[in-house]
Amino acid sequence: MDSVGDVDIQRISFDSKTYDTDSVAVESPLSINVEFRGDSYSVGILMRTPGDDEELVIGFLFGEGIITEKKHVTEILIDDNCCKVKISEESFFDPLEHVRKTSVSSACGICGRDSINNLLRLQ
């Protein structure tokens, strides 16, 4: 998935209007699912510019306190807007603490959603 896309724009000045194409950063959701002790848990959806998804996910897991070392991540599979992460028994994952089901935030409303499918229907 590209991190930059071209969009049609209008440039408007006092006495004219022109049409052009401009490059903009792409933003799309990434669903993060953690596999721990054989069970899978959704830990949230992040909005990101595609590109360094693996690093983003590892940083997110570290920031959430789910892992404290990179070696706690045993496998990462990223497919478009979905990331599946297997974490070791040594991690600090607690489903009661780390699984997000919030839909209210001060952001745009994407973060904290539990399903990308619901968001994609809005487009």
Q: With contact defined as beta carbons under 8 Å apart, do 36 and 91 qualify?
A: yes
Residue 19 belongs to a domain: no
What is the rounded distance in angstroms from the CA atom of residue 97 to the CA atom of residue 111?
Answer: 16
CATH number for position 91 = 3.10.20.10
Residue 85 belongs to a domain: yes
Residue 59 belongs to a domain: yes
Q: What total number of domains does the chain contain?
A: 1
What angle is formed at CA 70 by the lines to CA 43 and CA 44, rounded to 5 degrees?
A: 10
Instruction: Return the active site residues.
Output: 108
pLDDT in tens, 45-92: 888 888 899 999 999 999 889 999 999 999 999 998 999 999 999 999
Please give the model's pTM, rounded to 2 decimal places. Answer: 0.73
Residue 12 belongs to a domain: no
- What residue numbers bound the domain in which 97 lies? 28-120
